[in-house]
């Protein structure tokens, strides 16, 4: 059986979600596998320490010296008003002055302060960081979320009602997340706003249509299903009926429950922050708790060419509160040890502030050196990997490239980073790049694995 392909490129519509749920469940029930599924089974590893990933994507690129690599001694032209570093609960590790909540959770995460790829374009930098492949190769590679969906999702025996790869709340549109794997492996984008009640998840919570009305529609559809009634004993119709029931359960039953954030206590919701990002972090925890394999939180607003510090005065406290609450909540529930959390963007921002007009205190794109937070799923907390120089403009030690980070995460997920998976025909391609020519590698993050 060929892969079930969905005829769209952006987030799934309500109708597409139903079709997705119905067809993938039907394929699973009928026991049919794709070539990709066979590859997933072959590459599965019993040594996996992590079962899920939460990716917090700071869309646009956060400034490393304002966040995870503070440089208070660099002076005003680099730090502006954010000219202090604060201690954490780990000796010797400091954070930017607007991250006090994360400072209390530093034993749960490690910092990579020497990320680099030297690319300053949003599209190609996003592609490199999220796929772990260089731009300009002969294939468009899938994002890490799509690869995890392949190796840990429906093809590999996942039977949850929740799609294995989910984006809160909208796709980037910077590149094709599924790459050559095809639209079947694109994420389900929730749409809506988790800070609002109800959380209007596309395809599950219909605006203006109550659950009772949805049930009436389902009953009407059942009465109109004359073809199925003509073959009451047909096993294939029975299997498709099961698939239909599962799809409706996603909309009307247990599947929809995961998005009802009001099931959580007010105290916990307040701990995360009553804003879109904070509640997205809470939704991500609920999703991995229910079995989702890869959840991306697309947190926009970090492309601060102008008035950078005014924007940071809002964004940094939101990010600090939401990520700190997520790490604490996962740890308290025993989920952090099996869930990788990584937080960062496609690059950093220029350490030297652009005070002149028209930027008026802005920062531009900077792929030469940036920082990433990594936690859980087999990564040790309380460590710093690599360093930048005194002004944050150069990697000073232990460079880490995007493919080093993705290979490390794949290893902890039980996916062989050096393995291959088939595409059209018999050609096989590697999950992570092979060291060839002048390609730069820093090696996997063994010091924190």
pLDDT tens, position by position, 382-415: 999 999 999 999 999 999 999 999 999 999 999 9
Task: Find tokens 């490199």 and name the residue.
Answer: 128
pTM here?
A: 0.84
- What is the pLDDT at residue 6? 33
Torsion of CA 214, 217, 221, 224, to 10 degrees: 170
The Cα–Cα gap between 29 and 244 comes to 11
The list of the chain residues with pLDDT below 70 reads: 1-46, 203-234, 236-255, 423-427
Do the beta carbons of residue 141 and residue 134 sit within 8 Å?
no
Confidence (pLDDT) at 418: 92
At residue 256, the pLDDT reads 79
Count Cβ atoms below 10 Å from residue 395 Cβ, excluding itself. Answer: 21
Tokens 């109109």 label which residue?
224
pLDDT at 250: 53
3-state SS string for 311-334: HHHHHHHHHHHHHHHHHHHHHHCC
C-beta separation of 167 from 296 below 8 A? yes
Q: Are 42 and 429 in contact (CB under 8 A)?
A: no
d(CA 116, CA 119): 8
In whole angstroms, give the CA distance from residue 75 to residue 352.
10
CATH class of 14-448: alpha beta
């Amino acid at each position: 059986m060929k892969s079930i392909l969905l005829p769209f490129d952006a987030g799934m519509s309500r109708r597409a979600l139903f079709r997705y749920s119905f067809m993938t469940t039907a394929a699973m029930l009928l026991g049919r596998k794709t070539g990709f599924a066979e590859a997933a089974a072959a590459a599965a590893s019993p040594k996996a320490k992590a079962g899920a990933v939460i990716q917090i994507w700071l869309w646009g690129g956060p400034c490393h010296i304002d966040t995870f690599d503070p440089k208070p001694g660099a002076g005003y032209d680099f730090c502006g008003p954010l000219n202090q570093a604060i201690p954490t609960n780990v000796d010797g590790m400091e954070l930017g002055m607007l991250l006090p909540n994360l400072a209390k959770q530093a034993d749960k995460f490690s910092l990579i302060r020497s990320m680099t790829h030297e690319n300053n374009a949003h599209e190609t930098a996003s592609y490199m960081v999220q796929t772990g492949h260089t731009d300009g190769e002969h294939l468009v590679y899938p994002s890490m979320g799509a690869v995890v969906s392949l190796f840990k999702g429906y093809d590999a025996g996942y039977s949850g009602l929740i799609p294995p790869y989910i984006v809160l709340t909208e796709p980037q549109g910077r590149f094709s997340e599924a790459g050559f794997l095809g639209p079947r492996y694109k994420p389900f984008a929730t749409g809506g706003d988790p800070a609002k009640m109800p959380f209007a998840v596309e395809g599950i919570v219909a605006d203006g249509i109550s659950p009772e009305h949805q049930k009436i529609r389902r009953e009407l559809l059942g009465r109109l299903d004359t073809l199925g009634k003509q073959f009451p004993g047909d096993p294939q119709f029975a299997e498709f009926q099961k698939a239909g029931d599962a799809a409706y359960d996603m909309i009307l039953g247990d599947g929809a429950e995961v998005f009802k954030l009001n099931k959580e206590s007010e105290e916990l919701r307040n701990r995360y922050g009553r804003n879109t990002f904070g509640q997205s972090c809470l939704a991500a925890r609920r999703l991995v708790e229910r079995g989702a394999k890869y959840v991306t939180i697309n947190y926009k607003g970090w492309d601060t060419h102008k008035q950078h510090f005014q924007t940071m005065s809002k964004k940094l406290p939101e990010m600090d509160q939401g990520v700190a609450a997520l790490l604490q909540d996962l740890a308290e529930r025993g989920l952090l040890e099996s869930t990788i959390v990584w937080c960062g963007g496609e690059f950093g921002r220029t350490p030297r502030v652009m005070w002149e007009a028209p930027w008026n205190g802005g920062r531009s794109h900077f792929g030469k050196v940036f920082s990433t937070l990594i936690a859980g799923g087999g990564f040790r907390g309380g460590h710093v990997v690599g360093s930048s120089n005194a002004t944050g403009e150069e990697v000073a030690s232990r460079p880490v490239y995007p493919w080093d980070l993705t290979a490390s995460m794949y290893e902890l997920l039980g996916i062989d980073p050096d393995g291959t998976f088939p595409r059209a025909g018999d050609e096989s391609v590697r999950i992570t790049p092979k060291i060839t020519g002048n390609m730069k590698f820093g090696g996997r993050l063994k010091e924190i694995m």
